[in-house]
Amino acid sequence: MNPMLNINFMEWDGLTRIVFTRKNKTLSALFKSKATLEILAKNHMIYCSLNDTMVDEGFDIKTKIQEILEECNLCETRSRTMTNDQLLKLLERFNAHGIHFTS
């Protein structure tokens, strides 16, 4: 029997909505859209505000997302080929870097 994972299902929903909007695009392309970047930047600001953390002066959400995708080796991966484990790892890495999919 597998243990229950500690997942925020609102975050999971937010990530999967972004990832599967266009399942044949690469993750890198999906996360470069203007609307996605604006939402994630806003969520990051809210997260930092709620946790009394300062946002770095030169913080660039686009660069941070690209770093996370490279860290997970998922830049050129297409949504339709991803496993659940890859999606969970991606969500965990985004959250570890303070990027959340809910506000």
For the segment 9-20, what is each residue's pLDDT rounded down to a tens digit?
A: 899 999 999 999
| Phi–psi pair at 78, nearest 5 degrees | -95, 145
Predicted confidence (pLDDT) per residue in 18-75, tens digit: 999 988 999 999 999 999 999 999 999 998 899 888 888 888 999 999 999 999 999 9
What CA dihedral angle connects 5, 9, 12 and 13, to 10 degrees? 150
Predicted confidence (pLDDT) per residue in 74-90, tens digit: 999 999 999 999 999 99
Please state, as a whole number, how many other Cβ atoms lie within 10 Å of the Cβ of residue 54: 8
Mean pLDDT over 1-14 rounds to 79
**Is the pLDDT score of 4 beyond 80?**
no
Give pLDDT, residue 83.
Answer: 92
